[in-house]
Structure 1
Amino acid sequence: MVVAEEGGRGAAVVHEVPYYAQWESPELVREIIAGSVSAADDPRWGASGAASPEEYEYWSWRLCGVACLRMALDHWWGVAPSTMTLAGECLTAGAYERDGDRLRGLIHTPFAAYVQERWGLTAQARELTPEEVSAEVAAGRLVMLSVHPAVRHPDGPEPQRRGGHLVLAVGTTGTALVIHNPSGFAGESQAYAHVPWRHFERFYSGRGIVLGPPEAVDG
C-alpha cells in the first residue's frame, strides 16, 4: 500500500515497508550505540542466527545494509531471513571482504548483483542526486543510501564526512525524505523518520542502491 497526498513538490509518496534494526532489540539501539549496553547483552541476540553473543556483537555493528535488505525482502516477498544468514551469503558474494578481524563492506556493486541473482529483485548500484532519489521512490522503488550515521539527528552539527552508514528510503514528500534507519533511536528516528531535504545533502555521499520489485510485479 502507498500513502499519497499533495505536498510542496507535488504528490507525497510513502510506502508501507516493515522496519528492522541492525540489532535484534530496536529499543536498545540508543544504549548500544552509547556504550551503556553491550550488543553481546542484547537478550534477543539468538534471533540473529549468530553462534554466540560475541559473533553477534562483531557483526551487528556492520549490518545496516543487511537490515535494509531484510526490509525490502519483507516488503516484496513477505520473508525476512535472519541477519546472519544474509550476512553469510553477502560475504560469499563478495559484498563483504574479511581481512583478519577487519571487515570491509557493504560493497555496493557485488551486493546489487547478489540481490538480483539470489532474490530476483532489480538492484542497481549507482550515483544519485537527491532529485533522482525522490523520483525513484515516487516510482515505487526503495533506495539504500550511503549517509553519515548522524542522519538520526538531521538538525545536529555538521558531520565530518558523508557516508559510512546505509538507510532505506521509503518515502518522499515536498519537504523531506522518509527513511527507515537501521541504527535510529526508538520513538525518534527508526521507522518513517523524516530527513528535511535542506539537511539531507550534509549526510549523503551521493551513492546508493536502487531496489525494485521483480520485473513481472508492479511496484
Structure 2
Amino acid sequence: MDDVASTTMASDRAGHDAVHIMNPVPYHAQWASPQLVEDIVTGRISAREDPAWAAYGAESPEEYEWWSWRLCGMACLRMALEHFGHTAPSAMELAAECTAAGGYVKHDEGLHGLVYAPFASWVEERFGLTAEVRPRLAVDEIPSVLARGQLAMVSVHPSIRRPQSTPPQPGGHLVLAVGATADSLVIHNPSGFAGSSQQYAQVPWARFVDFYAGRGVVLGAGPVSR
C-alpha cells in the first residue's frame, strides 16, 4: 500500500513556493467501460449498449443505465479504497450499501445524493478509512490535504472535463483530487473522456474555481476493513 504522496518543493522565479504532489491512485470511471464514456455522455450510444455492463454489478442493462449516470461518488470511493489498500466492491454493491446508510435517497424523480454526512459515517464504519466532511474546503487548502497523502472528493460541474468551457453553475459532480502543481489541480474524473480528461487530468487553478462548489469529503488511510 502506497498512501504517501510523492512531493517535491521548489522555488519559482517570483520567489514563491511551487509544489508538485502526485498520489498514485488507480482509476475507475463511473461507467463500466472507460473508453466508451465520451460516446455515452454525448449520446452517441446508450449506456445500455455498454458490453461490460454486468461487471458493474447490475442485474440488467436498464438498471446499469439508471445508476451509472448517478454514481460518480462511488467511482471516486472505489479509487480511494484501492489506493489505500482495500479491495473495492462493485459500483452497485457500494450503491446499495450507501443507500441503506442514507448516503443516497431514491425518490420519484430520481436520486438525492451524495449526502455527505451519512456517506462519511458509512465509509469510516464499513472500511475503516477516515472521511472528513468539509462543507467549506478552500481551494488553497487542497494541496496541503494531498501532501499529507489524503485524497479529496470535490464537488465540481461535470463540464470540468473541458476546463476552458464556462460552467452554468458550480457543483453537481464529484471528482477525486489526486495531485497538485503550482499551476493546476490534478484530478481523476469519473466522467472524463478517455485520452484527455480521465486520469491525472490537469485543471488550471484559475479555471478550477469556476467549476468548484467549495465543498467535498477528505479521505484518508485507516485500519484494515473489519
Q: What range is the shorter-chain TM-score in?
A: over 0.9
Is 1:40 aligned with 2:48?
yes
Say which SS state the counterpart of residue 106 (structure 2) adopts.
strand
- How far 1:5 moved relative to its partner? 3.3
Q: Percent identity?
A: 54
1:109 to 117, 126, 129: 117
- How far 1:3 moved relative to its partner? 3.1
Which residue in 2 is equivalent to 1:185?
193
Is 1:79 aligned with 2:87?
yes
2:147 to 138, 144, 150: 138
Which residue in 1 is equivalent to 2:99?
91
- How far 1:183 moved relative to its partner? 0.1
> Contact 2:7/2:147 (CA < 8 Å) preserved in 1?
no
Q: 1:147 is aligned with what amino acid? A: V
Which residue in 2 is equivalent to 1:121?
129
Q: What TM-score, normalized by structure 1, do the two folds share?
A: 0.94
Which residue in 2 is equivalent to 1:173?
181
Structure 1 unaligned segments of length 5 or more: list them: none
Aligned-pair RMSD on alpha carbons?
Answer: 1.4
Say which SS state the counterpart of residue 132 (structure 2) adopts.
strand
- How far 1:80 moved relative to its partner? 1.7
- How far 1:10 moved relative to its partner? 3.0
1:53 to 57, 61, 79: 61
> Contact 1:122/1:215 (CA < 8 Å) preserved in 2?
no
Q: 1:209 is aligned with what amino acid? A: V
Say which SS state the counterpart of residue 77 (structure 1) adopts.
coil
> Contact 2:78/2:89 (CA < 8 Å) preserved in 1?
yes
Structure 2 unaligned segments of length 5 or more: list them: none
* Worse overlay, 120-129 or 93-102: 93-102
Q: What TM-score, normalized by structure 2, do the two folds share?
A: 0.92
Q: 1:166 is aligned with what amino acid? A: L
- How far 1:58 moved relative to its partner? 0.1
Query: How many pairs are equivalent?
Result: 215
